[in-house]
Amino acid sequence: MVQFQGADISHYQNEKGPIDWPSLKMASVGSWFACKATQRANYKDPYFDYNRESAHTIGFRYIMMYHWLSPVSQARVVDQVGFYLSKVGKLQLNEGVMIDAEEGGITLADTLEFADRVEQKTGRPCSIYTGAFVAGGSIWTSQTLFNGLRARHLAAYTSEQKMKALPGVDPPLPAAWQYSSNGPVPGIVGRCDMNFFYDISMYDLICGIGTLPKPLPEEESMDLLVEAESAWESWPEGQLYIQDAGTGHVRAITDWEWNAMGQKKPVAKWSNEQLSYCGLAPIPGNTDCKFAPLTVSLTGTAK
């Protein structure tokens, strides 16, 4: 059953009436909140600073600050990134970058450039909010853009069954689904966007709660084949990271890549990829770390 877990707002909600932050926090069972920061390269939401500070004060775990991505006919991507970062400043703990990629005229290349540039500056993956048919569907279905670390946030105001039938949705399900823009949300006056999460743990890395494993020294990197074994029957998806030699994108190993899933010692293999990141990231919400250490064996030619 779909349940409201987090809201995203802009000045529109603030102008309708004061936000009751304790009520909003209590209703947001995912402890997730997003607010608009900037648009183009010359507009800052007038309530951004207030919403950001209030979200910290009330104790949201995930505080997403989004940029409304505009077509390059309005502002170059590099200028939009620069403006966004100038208004957001250094990311604090529990804060993350969210790209609102829904305006007509934007492209996959624009979205990828913004994500790459902002991640180079912040050192954290970002979340990308878009629709299944924006830019002809090229954004939503891009495996280059959604590299395993970036959260896929789908806007689709329909039933869960119909949402899952959209191109490129199931599998895999999005990390987040905005299922309504008309919800009555406790603490907010008037209509508001409502979000549900299938994998909210992705926001740990995005918001600086988890950390990426350190790169291996260059001389230890390997080509051709990587094998990894876990001594446990199940594997925490998204904990081992590899870097694609062709694109340079770091991504998490996903469920479908395990070729012996469900067995006592699942084994994953990758061809034509370079292992430059290898290791376990902290398991979201699990401070006891109940999983055994990962044993990684590499075969191939050392650089």
Distance CA 231, CA 295 (A): 8
Give residue-wise pLDDT tens across range 176-193: 999 999 889 999 999 999
**82: exposed, middle or buried (Cβ count in 10 Å: 0-12, 13-18, 19+):** middle
Please, what are the domains in the chain? 6-206 (3.20.20.80), 212-303 (no CATH)
pLDDT-derived band at 212 (thresholds 50, 70, 90) equals: low
Provide mean pLDDT across the span 200-229.
58
**Mean per-residue pLDDT of the chain:** 76
pLDDT-derived band at 254 (thresholds 50, 70, 90) equals: very low
User: Is the pLDDT at 258 greater than 70, yes or no?
Assistant: no
pLDDT-derived band at 277 (thresholds 50, 70, 90) equals: very low
